[in-house]
Structure 1
């Protein structure tokens, strides 16, 4: 029988004692590392970097596309608005001429105008004078009507251009968050590359290397330009001269070769719809596109390419077999 004031024996270890015993039996865990995630292995870091690079290619390409669309819309709006201003000035001038003519006719009509014509001895002269005045007024009226219509047409075109500009602005604003995402990716890429000891700053003033491959003509000029950029840093959205993204490099290289390419990878692929060639029939200077159209490079011949790879790297020449991206096709400018 239990004695009053004494604890009942239950045959179980008290809770506090059990916790203390468990603490003694479990291995010690440093406090600072209690919730720390294990660092990725080199293989895991490289795999994550490759995924980030692929995602960044697509995001940067979309942002570049939006920027090009906005530039075209703005240029179209400015052109139409300028034409509208000039046309409006012409219409205003004609209207002022009509007002001046009407006032002059009213003021002079009783003396030198109407009375002068009525005083003519020859009725034929009077009729000719009236006809000339009517023709002049009709001509001016037709001109104003024509210019008014042209102004209405231009105003409608201007409104369309403004709508296009508004839409392009909206698109650019929407994709600004994609750029912010790209910025975050760049930071993540940079962090991983530094951890791997593989981050390359590059030299914006690099003089590159000499091209000694088999290309000739325009293709050689394009490749000589591209090889002169070797060592310069990759910079997304970069169009030179101190840094390049992939399509910025191919565009500038072929500009040096006398061919005008569009700015973005998608546009370059679309531009080359009738110029596509098999990957088995590559020639120096051909543009090589990755799957998803997120990246483009220049075939240099002898199994090599020159390209601006991704954040943390530089314009460089590598073998096509080590390209590391799935290919979708090629275009011969």
Structure 2
């Protein structure tokens, strides 16, 4: 049976009905496995970027502290110069009133008594010496003032440069966080944590300083991972290790890289781990604390919380360990 020709308008209408309604060329949604693999890569990248952020932030704080010290010194010297300037002006006014020559002192050559004359000469010499000392002090302080001002200005410029570096790293971290949270929510694994968590009790085998470290770290369990976080409401990985060892009276540097370098002479074999040891991942993007019995306590990554997990399940290759 023949239907004849279909009118053009009708043919177009049929074609439109038959076209797929979804977006043309849309990428298929990633599988759970693909999402997990992408999250692992994001977490690894974020580890390194967060440590760069922390490093830049530490440099900025040091540069800002240096500027503050130099600027305070400059201000103190400026006040000293102003005071000396007032004294010099007073001296000049006095000299103008009495004459520029010390011989203009009343009665200096009017006395006929040799002893009186010697006393007046000694007084004139003392006044002259004091004036000379004040002028010299003013000259020294005034010459040093410009150098101090220039040093303070250079320190401020350095601090501003470091601050720009911090903002650059912060911007990249924030972009990564958006991607991490999106994937975690897709996987149903996003955990915002509780900044007021009281954690859990440590009952492991540690003793001495290490016991104090782990009691502190376990008391932070449940608090959120926060990039740049040093507590008390949230931590990143090196922020937690630093705070935990501080609780035991040991001062660690701020960043993962710095902690690894600080421990250059304190490294221990992985088969000799003891509670409290710091365990560093390959690439030095992450650090955790060995809790004993094959477990670690750490602040993993965005969308997660401080937690205790088996060392074997941390998901990161280990490069070494340090015993503070």
Hey, what does 2:82 align to over in structure 1? 92
Which secondary structure does the structure 1 equivalent of 2:209 belong to? helix
User: How far apart in 1 are the matches of 2:171 and 2:96?
Assistant: 69
Whether the aligned pair in 1 keeps the contact of 2:102 and 2:124 (CA below 8 Å) is: no
- Select the residue among 109, 121, 129 that pairs with 1:127: 121
Hey, what does 1:64 align to over in structure 2? 54
User: How far apart in 2 are the matches of 1:238 and 1:168?
Assistant: 19
Which secondary structure does the structure 2 equivalent of 1:288 belong to? strand
Q: How does 1:109-124 map to 2 (within 5 A)?
A: 109=99, 114-120=105-111, 121-122=113-114, 123-124=117-118
Q: How does 1:149-168 map to 2 (within 5 A)?
A: 149-168=143-162
- Unaligned residue ranges in structure 2 (runs of 5+): none
- Unaligned residue ranges in structure 1 (runs of 5+): 1-13
Hey, what does 2:257 align to over in structure 1? 266
Deviations 1:157-195 (A, max 9, x none): 21331231232133234x1xx433322322222222222
Which secondary structure does the structure 2 equivalent of 1:284 belong to? coil
Q: How does 1:1-333 map to 2 (within 5 A)?
A: 30-32=20-22, 34-109=24-99, 114-120=105-111, 121-122=113-114, 123-173=117-167, 175=168, 178-333=169-324
Whether the aligned pair in 1 keeps the contact of 2:210 and 2:248 (CA below 8 Å) is: yes
Whether the aligned pair in 1 keeps the contact of 2:199 and 2:220 (CA below 8 Å) is: yes
Give the CA deviation at 1:117. 2.1
Whether the aligned pair in 1 keeps the contact of 2:67 and 2:156 (CA below 8 Å) is: yes
Which secondary structure does the structure 1 equivalent of 2:108 belong to? helix
User: How far apart in 1 are the matches of 2:172 and 2:154?
Assistant: 32
User: How far apart in 2 are the matches of 1:63 and 1:270?
Assistant: 17
Whether the aligned pair in 1 keeps the contact of 2:102 and 2:128 (CA below 8 Å) is: no
User: Which has the greater radius of gyration?
Assistant: 1
Give the CA deviation at 1:226. 0.4
Give the CA deviation at 1:44. 1.3
TM-score by length of 2: 0.87
Which secondary structure does the structure 1 equivalent of 2:216 belong to? helix
User: How far apart in 2 are the matches of 1:146 and 1:332?
Assistant: 51
Give the CA deviation at 1:221. 0.9
Give the CA deviation at 1:61. 1.4
TM-score by length of 1: 0.85
Say how many residue pairs are matched.
309
Whether the aligned pair in 1 keeps the contact of 2:50 and 2:228 (CA below 8 Å) is: yes
Give the CA deviation at 1:124. 2.1
Whether the aligned pair in 2 keeps the contact of 1:117 and 1:129 (CA below 8 Å) is: no
Which piece of structure 1 moves more, 256-265 or 114-123?
114-123
Hey, what does 1:8 align to over in structure 2? none
User: How far apart in 1 are the matches of 2:192 and 2:165?
Assistant: 32
Give the CA deviation at 1:230. 0.6
User: How far apart in 1 are the matches of 2:148 and 2:172?
Assistant: 40
Whether the aligned pair in 2 keeps the contact of 1:118 and 1:126 (CA below 8 Å) is: no
Give the CA deviation at 1:309. 0.4
